[in-house]
Chain A
Amino acid sequence: MTETIVELRNITKRFPGIVANDDVTLDIRKGEIFALLGENGAGKSTLMSILFGMYEPDEGQIFVRGEEVRLTSSKDAAALNIGMVHQHFKLVSNYTITENIVLGDEPLKRLGPLSWVDLKGASKKIRALSLEYGLEVNPDDKIEDLQVSTQQRVEILKMLYRDAEILIFDEPTSVLTPQEIEYLLEIMEELRRGGKTIILITHKLEEIKRVADRCAILLHGKLVGVYDVATTTTQRMANLMVGKELDTTLDKTEHDFGEVVLDVSDLTVYNEQKVKVVDNVSLRVRQGEILAIAGVSGNGQVDIADAIAGLQHISAGSISLKGEEISRLSIKDRIARGISYIPEDRQKDGLVMDLTLRDNLAIKTFDREPFSKKGVLQPEAFEQQATDLIKRYDIRSGQGSQTTTRSMSGGNQQKAIIAREVELDSDLLIFVQPTRGLDVGAIANIHQQILEQRDKGKAILLVSLELDEVLALADTICVAFRGQILKTDSAKNLSKEEVGQYMMGVTQ
């Protein structure tokens, strides 16, 4: 049981302006679930990418099964039976599951000089594997028809098919619903029972508590320590992870709400596939009020937000902002009227990843003074704003205002978006999944900022899949189910269980 399978010794990896891993030494035992915990940008993914051969460490040694190895590509890692499920899946969407799994390592059948890929045999083997570990899939389905959780299972099967013994999961639960998370954790336990070693990169403490044996905590690239999960409390892990005593309780003061800022009535939206995604929704948000839309993913919440911001056409209903009908206005005009929007997908919608942080911070205001005068950009104004926001919002990046946002960590990208949107000083702020994929420290920071805006008298529309987040922040809760609002009530009058029931479509 205590046989060491992987040993990392004094690993150091530098990127321009940042030390991603600083002298990290770890040993991982055969047959355990080893968690790697840390804030966004703490160096977890980098460390595992090194073990998977995607980066070479600047310093340090790697031992696998007691022998020193040098990994220059993922092929080397595969040869040592190391597999990895990446945060973003690497699958060919119009191939079947079987084709994806055998890709790059096709089993060949030969007849004299002829050879062809033995898909039938592979399919059989995959079916057997999927039964053995409880990973239900139909090997002949195409990837594009599958749900995210099933795609993830395909990634796991891909590793198992290649006889991986050491399985690295990079934040596997960030894309899953609560039920799917539960199912995945069971699969991990099943894999451990089958003798596999699992390395789980995550920043969700409950998951670690639930399945992991030991847990290494990284902070700013340095190893804080390795802890026995059974004897360490979640609170202690959280504190170690952020490096300071963490106050997770929010202090939310009671106050009266002001005038109605956003008034949506009878809103109906059809998506591009002509499916009705928002069905006759009405809601009002007042000054100083946080109205949260709770709901399971895909029940029309994001479409409501998109419709208000002007990203989606509405087919019926009205949207008024401070008494003015805005549903016919362009996106630009709505921004000018006072809507800030923190979108769900920060990399696709929120940022131009290949532009600098400086440009991204000004992407909504570049054509106003002082950022441009008569159509000519004023770089000094861009720089001044960037320096100011970087400082005030604690946005960390390798090369300051000139950093390409792509190279920043997710948490800092989100900080940049929030800084930009809050600085617009809009009367209405829409937050969609503002803390998705972020660590405890960043979440607390963002929650604090949302409350600050509320206390300043802004109207806030929050869309979140995290029930705890909704309950912690909301003054008023709307529960969305199949495009409708099933229930609207003051947060004080709703318990977690009640909201959960409405989310499942149960109405008393």
Chain B
Amino acid sequence: MNKFSSRVRSALSGLLVPSISIALTLIVASVIVLLLGKNPIEVFLGFLRGSGLVFKPRYAGGQGILTDFFSYLSILTPMIFASLGVMMGMRAGLFNIGVAGQMLLPGFLASVLIGYSDLPSYLAWPIIIIIGLVAGGAMGALIGFLKHRFNIHEVVTSIMLNYIISYVTAFFINTYYADPVTRNSRPVSEASRLLIPGQAGGARFDLPVGLVVALLVIFVMRFLLDRTTVGFRINAVGLNKDCARYAGINVGNNVVLAMAMSGMLAGLAGVTYYLGFANNMVPKELVSLGYDSIAVAVLGNVAPVGCLFASILVTIFQKGSVYMSSNVGVPKDIASVIIGILLMFSASGLYIEETLQRLRRRSRSKQDAKTDPDKAEEERA
């Protein structure tokens, strides 16, 4: 009983600091919005409405809150995968800044090989997922291998690979797969999209298949990192390479393994983004989601479940920003500003925690001072 209540308390105190960070972010964001001469409540409602979490005043024909909500979920899915990818690298002490590239290559391959074929969904989906895992994993493993074998910093290799992938895929898109009108790649086939179309209450929507996989992967990652020898090794390598080596853990193998897993997760983010949300590719463009996921992973305290909640939160701002800006009139870039502020406050988590402790101590010592005379008397008696 006591154990349980202390566990609840520790879980609550774990939530306290992030809640304070979020509250501070909303306050600062409100001030900025006020300075722009707009109503902050309208802005925040705009974000929520755009994400399908609050009813809009009116909907176009065939649309409804579910349309927005499921569209929100289909961009949430790659965000979860991408942030898990960044988290995985960080656990092993590696900074995978190349998630965007590791999304694009698998996305491109899956589009070209499956998206432009006429395979039925039940065949296309598993193959797409496998392509995501294999292509992303291979890129990650390459980065890890270069780090381990030649001591080339993973930030350098992953940024370089980002450029290489983005230009190479752009060449192929422009040459073979471009849509004559938009100059983007042709949209992938309906069947290959990781979506199940549905309809309810007169609104059409698409259920993202990837989300189910994402939720599953979160718990697999959590188990892997907290409860298996594989996770134990990776954590030890990430926290102290020297000690890990001394204890007989093969540091190089674990660096490659962690980067490969990071790449696999990025690959899943890629296929769920390019064949589940965007459904086509813009030549030479790396999606900003790949970079935003770094902030999300940090915000999520570099833990699987944390990444889930951070993704949910950050995606509201990103997904909702278009609707918000067209209806409230605040530029949609405010979303990036808010995410930046959020990241800053969440990076100050330790400071917030210390401040809380200091405040608590102070109030306690004040109380002690008040009760002290009584105590002294008690002791005398």
Binding site for B on A (CB under 8 A): 58-59, 309, 311, 330-335, 341, 343, 348-355, 359, 363-364, 366-367, 372, 375-377, 379
Contacts and interface: CB of A to CB of B under 8 A. Distances in A.
Contacts of B356: none
Contact of A366 (B226, B232, B250, B361): B232
A350 B229 contact: no
A341 B242 CA distance: 14
Contacts of A350: 243, 246
B327 interface: no
Interface residues of B, number: 22
B175 interface: no
Contacts of B236: 352, 355, 363
16 contacts: A58-B361, A331-B247, A331-B248, A332-B248, A333-B248, A335-B247, A348-B240, A349-B246, A350-B243, A352-B236, A352-B244, A353-B240, A359-B232, A363-B243, A375-B229, A376-B227
B243 A352 contact: yes
Interface string B360-380: 010001000000000000000
B220 interface: no
B230 interface: yes
B256 to A, nearest CB: 16
B93 to A, nearest CB: 11
Contacts of A343: 246
B242 A372 contact: no
A354 B91 CA distance: 12
Contacts of B244: 352
A199 to B, nearest CB: 26
Nearest to B227: A377
Contacts of A330: 248, 250
Contacts of B235: 355
B243 A351 contact: yes
Nearest to B358: A56
Q: What 10 A-B pairs are tightest by C-beta distance, nearest first? A: A332-B248, A352-B240, A363-B247, A331-B248, A367-B229, A349-B246, A352-B239, A335-B248, A354-B239, A364-B247
B3 to A, nearest CB: 13
B249 interface: yes
Of listed A334, A352, A354, A355, residue having the most chain B CB within 10 A: A352
A363 B237 CA distance: 11
B248 A372 contact: no
B245 interface: yes
Of listed B227, B229, B235, B239, residue having the most chain A CB within 10 A: B229
B228 interface: yes
B228 A375 contact: yes
Given A348-B240, A372-B228, 4 more contacts: A349-B246, A352-B243, A355-B239, A376-B227
Contacts of A367: 229, 232
A363 B233 CA distance: 9
B239 A376 contact: no
A348 to B, nearest CB: 5
A332 B243 CA distance: 13
Contacts of B239: 352-355
Contacts of B230: 375
A58 B368 CA distance: 11
Contacts of A372: 228-229
A283 B257 CA distance: 39
A331 B248 CA distance: 5
A152 to B, nearest CB: 24
Interface in B197-240: 226-232, 235-236, 239-240
Contact of A332 (B228, B231, B250): B250
A331 B243 contact: no
Contacts of B243: 348-352, 363
B261 to A, nearest CB: 15
Contacts of B361: 58
Contacts of B231: 377
A9 B231 CA distance: 49
Contacts of A332: 248-250
B232 A349 contact: no
Contact of B246 (A331, A366, A376): A331
A330 B249 CA distance: 10
A311 B244 CA distance: 11
A341 B245 CA distance: 13
B228 to A, nearest CB: 5
Nearest to B236: A352
A186 B339 CA distance: 57
Contacts of A366: 229, 232
B365 A59 contact: yes
Contacts of A351: 240, 243
A332 B246 CA distance: 9
A348 B248 contact: no
B232 A377 contact: yes
A349 B231 CA distance: 20
A367 B228 CA distance: 9
A281 to B, nearest CB: 21
B250 A377 contact: no
Nearest to A364: B247
B318 to A, nearest CB: 32
Contacts of A364: 247-248
A348 B242 CA distance: 6
A351 B241 CA distance: 10
Contacts of A376: 227-229
Contacts of A309: 246
Contacts of B249: 332
B229 A341 contact: no
Contacts of B247: 331, 335, 363-364
A202 to B, nearest CB: 28
A58 B246 contact: no
B349 to A, nearest CB: 15
Nearest to B369: A59
A198 B347 CA distance: 39
Contacts of B242: 348-349
Contact of B228 (A58, A59, A348, A377): A377
B237 to A, nearest CB: 9
A335 B230 CA distance: 19
B230 to A, nearest CB: 7
A160 B329 CA distance: 60
Contacts of B228: 372, 375-377
B249 to A, nearest CB: 7
Contacts of A348: 240, 242-243
A369 to B, nearest CB: 11
A349 B242 CA distance: 5
A183 to B, nearest CB: 31
A238 to B, nearest CB: 33
Contacts of B245: 311, 331
A39 B244 CA distance: 30
A375 B236 CA distance: 16
A348 B361 CA distance: 33
Nearest to B231: A377
Nearest to A331: B248
A311 B365 contact: no
Contacts of B232: 359, 366-367, 377
A159 B229 CA distance: 49
Contacts of B246: 309, 311, 331, 341, 343, 349-350
A256 B365 CA distance: 63
Nearest to B230: A375
Contacts of B248: 330-335, 364
A352 B251 CA distance: 14
Contacts of B229: 366-367, 372, 375-377
Contacts of A59: 365
A418 B365 CA distance: 40
A359 to B, nearest CB: 7
A311 B239 CA distance: 18
A367 B244 CA distance: 13
A231 to B, nearest CB: 36
Nearest to A332: B248
